[in-house]
Amino acid sequence: MKNNQFINLDNITDLLPKEFTEEQIAKSKTLFYKEMALAMHEFYGGKMQTLPKAPIYGFNWFNVWYTPGVSAVSTTIRDNNDSSFQLSNRKNMVAVVSDSTRVLGDGDCTPSGGLGVMEGKAMLMKYLGGVDAVPLCINSKDANGEPDPDKIIEFVKMVQPSFGAINLEDISQPNCFKVLDVLRKECDIPVWHDDAQGTACVTLAGVINALKLVGKKMSEIKVVLYGAGASNTSIARLMITDGVDPKKIIMFDSKSTLHINNDRYKNDPRFYVQWNLCQITNPDCVTEPEEAFKDADVLVALSKPGPDTIKPEWIKLMAEKSIVFVCANPVPEIYPYQAKEAGAYIVATGRGDFPNQVNNSVCFPSILKGTLLVSARKITDTMAIKAAHSIADFAENRGITIENIMPNMLEWELFPKVAADVALQAIKEGVALKNLTWDEVYQEAKKDIMDTHEITKILQDKEFIKPITDDIIIEIMNKVIQKVQ
Average pLDDT, the chain: 96
DSSP state of 219: G
Contact 111, 170 (CB under 8 A): no
For CA atoms 252, 258, 259, 262, give the dihedral sign: positive
Strands 191-193 and 249-252: unpaired
Say yes or no to pLDDT of 3 above 70. no
Residue 1's pLDDT band (boundaries 50, 70, 90)?
very low
Domains in the chain (CATH in brackets) are: 1-45+438-485 (no CATH), 63-189 (3.40.50.10380), 194-436 (3.40.50.720)
Count other C-beta atoms under 10 Å from residue 394's C-beta.
Answer: 21
- pLDDT of 255 reads 92
State the catalytic residues: 66, 121
DSSP designation for 206? H
DSSP 376: B
What would the mean pLDDT of 410-424 be, rounded to a whole number? 97
pLDDT at 10 over 90: no
CB atoms within 10 A of CB 459: 13
Tell me the backbone φ, ψ of residue 134, rounded to 5 degrees.
-125, 125
Sheet holding 93-98, edge to edge: 132-137, 93-98, 165-168, 191-193
pLDDT digits (tens, 9 = 90+) for 258-279: 999 999 899 899 999 999 999 9
Please give the Cα distance from 209 to 402 (Å, whole number): 9
Report CA dihedral (242, 243, 247, 250) to the nearest 10 degrees.
-50
**pLDDT tens across 31-83, in order?**
999 999 999 999 999 999 999 999 999 999 999 999 999 999 999 999 999 99
Q: What is the rounded distance in angstroms from the CA atom of residue 210 to the CA atom of residue 348?
A: 10
Q: What is the percent of the chain where pLDDT is above 90?
A: 93
Digit-coded pLDDT (tens) for 77-88: 999 999 999 999
pTM: 0.94
| CB contact set of 283 (below 8 Å; sequence gap of 6+) | 247, 259, 260
